[in-house]
Each structure stands twice: as C-alpha cells, then as structure tokens.
C-alpha cells in the first residue's frame, strides 16, 4: 500500500465586516497613514465589533464554507484543531465551542497556542493524525479576535493587528500530495519581547493588572523584527535545502503576514520573485494564526495540483517554522 500523506482538500475563510483604516487610527493615536504603510505594508484591517461575539464566531463560518464546498456533514468531522492566542475563554477550548456551534458532535479537538506560528504547528499536528491512518477528516483552523487584546491607545501595537479566521480540511492522500515536510522551532527565552503580562497563572487578573493595562499585547517591535527576519528566512532556506528544492521548484511562498519588510526579506533569501509571494497584509493586517490560511483562501483558485508551496512564519514564543506542501487539487 502506498504511504498516506495528509492533503489539504478544501479551504474556507472569514473576516468580519467592520474595516478599521489607517485614517481611523490617525484619530485614535499619534500615527499617520504614510508611516503605517511604509513601515508595515498595512492599509486596513478587519475588526469583530459586536459585543457577545468571539473567536468561535469567526472560525465557524470559515469551517462552514468548507462543509458547503465539499458536501461534508458536520458529523463527518473527526477532529478540530484551533490555533489561537485569543480563545473565547481560558477554558474550555475554543475547539469545543466551535464543534458545538457547528453540530460536529462526532469530533474531538483542542486549542493550540503558538501565536503567529500557530497555523504551522496545528497543520503539522493535524497532518500527523491523518498520516497515522486513524482520522480521515481533520479541520485545522487559525482564528483570532486580536482586537480583544489590543490597547487602542498604544500605537506600537494597535496599527498592526486584525481579526479573522482561515480553515483547511485535511484528508488522506495516496498520490504523494499534501504536507510533505515541516520544520518547527521554538525558543522560550524570546517570550520577554512579545507576550501578555497578566491573566495567566503567573499573574492572575486583578484590579491592579487591569489598571496597569496588562491584559493587552506587549511587544518590543524592533527586537521581534530582527529575530523574525532572520528566523523566517533561515528556516525557509533550511526547508528548501533539506528537500533539494530550488526557487524554480516553488510555485508559491505563503508567509505569515506580520510586516511586508519581513515577507520581502524571506522571499529575497529564497530567491523568489514577488509574483510568487502571497501578500494580503494591506487589507487584513496581522491576524496572527489566521494569516496563512487566509492567504490560501484568497489564492485557492490560482493553485494547481502539484504546485509546491512553502508556508513560513515567525512569532511570539518565540515560535517559527516552515512547511512544504504539494497542492492536491
Ligand atoms: O507577528 C508576530 C511577530 N511580530 C512581528 O513580526 C512584528 C515585528 N516588528 C515590526 O513589524 C516593527 O518593529 C513595527 C512595525 C512594530 C515597528 O516598526 P519599526 O520600524 O521597528 O519602528 P520602531 O518601533 O523602531 O519606531 C521607529 C520610530 C520611532 O520614533 P523615533 O524614536 O525614531 O523618533 C517610534 O516612536 O517610529 C515611531 N513610531 C511610530 N510613528 C508613527 C512607532 N510606532 C509608530 C506609529 N506611528 N504607529
């Protein structure tokens, strides 16, 4: 019997309707459209504004799109892995809530926290479940309501992040397509540069932590930028090298959308021209675990069976990595 690989066989996505433009941010903090565009590449981002709506309300429509496209029933889903740093609640897992809202009563699932590399970690985990032969329909969703943890008076962070969700269906493949290799890395000493100070067991929520605005993202942007440029480019180059791939073999680079300058540096290091790089940061900003699947969602129609894709990310943790996929449809 030929080896089972895990292939992406459908993609879904969802972004909330409300658009937060650079012009809107100019009215909220001391910034300007020109600075944001030239330093990050972002023009606008989407925000889930309605009270009572959470991360799962972004993930569910993304997954429902997959069910509509494939004709699968929610009951066919074996497992849901939700990559996120903005779960509906600390517990239970958002994957549980998503399964409930979908009516996926046969599914088990869990949340995976790896910040901007969350989708890569979750895709590798989901692929292993399919490759093992035990599961046939695994949903991997990257979903974030970043606006819930952004201080909209902090210009260092509020200009960057947005909300959204992207999901993929993983199914067994015997044609040699799908997730073919992945290199994932982490370095916990990087946590000092990018984290949320309170709300965990180290510093539980209190009146003091709320007053000190410690439930928002804290980021030392310049330091993270330096690690990100090197980390994402190095791991992508390593992935090509160990699979004896050259830039000519690669149809698409699917990079985490944190900063256009980081994306450009990675593409340059891989020797890829701009027309082979998926970029939608201008419209959605940095949606953390959702950036990569949202790219796949928007480019799905342009992808061809057999295309080699490199997915690459760097983010909080630090976590980073790259995945080689041979597109299956
Ligand atoms: O996705 C997870 C991982 N995260 C990342 O990959 C993010 C990596 N970091 C970045 O993308 C960039 O560091 C930022 C976009 C966050 C910041 O860009 P930068 O070029 O590193 O700016 P900076 O923080 O070094 O600030 C440069 C200048 C400073 O002014 P002075 O000190 O040179 O006078 C800042 O005060 O720009 C100023 N500045 C701003 N000006 C207008 C900082 N933020 C803003 C702003 N608007 N929003």
Residue 12 has pLDDT above 80, yes or no: yes
Residue 156, ligand 1, Cβ within 6 A? yes
What is the separation of C-alpha 265 from the centre of its chain, rounded to a whole number of angstroms?
A: 19
**How far apart, in whole angstroms, are the C-alpha atoms of residue 150 and residue 240?**
36
Average pLDDT over residues 192-215: 97
Element (H, E) at 10: strand 5-14
DSSP-based three-state secondary structure for 49: coil
Average pLDDT over residues 116-143: 98
Active-site option among 256, 259, 280, 295: 256
Residue 287, ligand 1, Cβ within 6 A? no
State the residue for tokens 């549980």: 96
Q: What is the pLDDT of residue 43?
A: 98
DSSP-based three-state secondary structure for 171: strand
The alpha carbon of 220 and the centre of ligand 1 are apart by a number of angstroms equal to 9
**Of 222, 258, 289, best ligand 1 pocket probe by most atoms within 8 Å of the beta carbon:** 222
Residue 75 has pLDDT above 80, yes or no: yes
DSSP-based three-state secondary structure for 180: strand
**How far apart, in whole angstroms, are the C-alpha atoms of residue 231 and residue 82?**
24
Q: Please name the residue whose Cα sits nearest to atom 23 of ligand 1.
A: 222
DSSP-based three-state secondary structure for 136: coil
Nearest to 119 by CA among 316, 313, 327, 328: 313
Average pLDDT over residues 177-202: 97
Instruction: Provide the residue count of the chain.
Output: 329
Q: Are 116 and 288 in contact (CB under 8 A)?
A: yes
The alpha carbon of 79 and the centre of ligand 1 are apart by a number of angstroms equal to 39
| Per-residue buried b or exposed e for 282-307, using 16+ beta carbons within 10 Å of the residue's own CB | ebbbbbbbbbbbbbbbbebeebeeee
The DSSP symbol for 199 reads S
The Cα angle at residue 247 between residues 316 and 311, in degrees rounded to 5: 30
Burial class (CB in 10 A: 0-12, 13-18, 19+), 69: middle
DSSP-based three-state secondary structure for 121: helix
Residue 35, ligand 1, Cβ within 6 A? yes
Active-site option among 116, 177, 259, 280: 116
Residue 70 has pLDDT above 60, yes or no: yes
The pTM score is 0.97
What the block records as the tokens of 146 is: 């970043």
Q: What is the pLDDT of residue 2?
A: 74
Average pLDDT over residues 237-257: 97
The alpha carbon of 40 and the centre of ligand 1 are apart by a number of angstroms equal to 8
Q: Which residues touch 49 (CB under 8 Å, ≥6 apart)?
A: 16, 18, 147
Could you give the percent of the chain with pLDDT greater than 90? Answer: 99
For residue 256, indicate whether it is catalytic: yes
What the block records as the tokens of 214 is: 């410690």
For the chain, count helices (H), then strands (E).
Answer: 11, 13
> Which domains, from first to last, does the chain contain?
5-177 (3.40.47.10), 180-326 (3.40.47.10)
Residue 257, ligand 1, Cβ within 6 A? no
Residue 221, ligand 1, Cβ within 6 A? yes
Give per-residue pLDDT as tens, 257-315: 999 999 999 999 999 999 999 999 999 999 999 999 999 999 999 999 999 999 999 99
**Of 22, 31, 39, 146, best ligand 1 pocket probe by most atoms within 8 Å of the beta carbon:** 39
Could you give the percent of the chain with pLDDT greater than 70? Answer: 100
**How far apart, in whole angstroms, are the C-alpha atoms of residue 207 and residue 224?**
30
**How far apart, in whole angstroms, are the C-alpha atoms of residue 313 and residue 9?**
22
Q: What is the pLDDT of residue 1?
A: 56
Closest ligand 1 atom to residue 31 Cα is 47
Beta strand 79-83 with 108-112 is parallel
Give per-residue pLDDT as tens, 220-229: 999 999 999 9
Active-site option among 96, 280, 286, 295: 286
For residue 82, indicate whether it is catalytic: no
Closest ligand 1 atom to residue 29 Cα is 48
Mean pLDDT over each residue of the chain, to the nearest integer = 97
For residue 215, indicate whether it is catalytic: no
Nearest to 151 by CA among 160, 142, 143, 141: 160
The alpha carbon of 159 and the centre of ligand 1 are apart by a number of angstroms equal to 10
State the residue for tokens 């989708």: 119
């Amino acid at each position: 019997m030929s080896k089972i690989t895990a292939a992406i066989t459908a993609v879904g996505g969802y972004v909330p309707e409300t658009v937060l433009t650079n012009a809107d941010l100019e009215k909220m903090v001391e910034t300007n459209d020109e600075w944001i565009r030239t330093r990050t590449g972002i023009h606008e981002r989407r925000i889930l504004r309605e009270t009572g709506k959470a991360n799962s309300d972004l993930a569910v429509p993304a997954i429902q799109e997959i069910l509509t496209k494939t004709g699968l029933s929610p009951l066919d889903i074996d497992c849901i892995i939700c990559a996120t740093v903005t779960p509906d609640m600390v517990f239970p897992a958002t994957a549980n809530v998503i399964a409930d809202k979908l009516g996926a009563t046969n599914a088990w699932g869990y949340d995976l926290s790896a910040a901007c590399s969350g989708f890569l970690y979750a895709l590798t985990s989901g692929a292993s479940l399919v490759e093992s032969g035990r599961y046939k329909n695994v949903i991997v969703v990257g979903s974030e309501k970043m606006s819930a943890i952004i201080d909209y008076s902090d210009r260092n962070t509020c200009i960057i992040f947005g909300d959204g969700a992207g999901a993929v269906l993983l199914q067994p493949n015997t044609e040699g397509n799908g997730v073919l290799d992945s290199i994932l890395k982490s370095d916990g000493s990087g946590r000092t540069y990018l984290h949320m100070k309170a709300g965990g067991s180290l510093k539980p929520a209190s009146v003091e932590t709320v007053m000190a605005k410690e439930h928002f993202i804290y980021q030392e942007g310049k330091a993270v930028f330096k690690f990100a440029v090197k980390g994402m480019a190095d791991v992508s180059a390593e992935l090509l090298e160990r699979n004896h791939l050259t830039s000519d073999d690669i149809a698409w680079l699917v990079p985490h959308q944190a900063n256009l300058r980081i994306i450009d540096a990675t593409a340059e290091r891989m020797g890829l021209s701009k027309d082979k790089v998926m970029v939608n940061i201008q419209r959605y900003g940095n949606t953390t675990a959702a950036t990569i699947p949202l790219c796949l969602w928007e480019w799905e129609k342009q992808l061809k069976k057999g295309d080699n894709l490199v997915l690459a990310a760097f983010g909080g943790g630090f976590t980073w990595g790259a995945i080689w996929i041979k597109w299956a449809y």
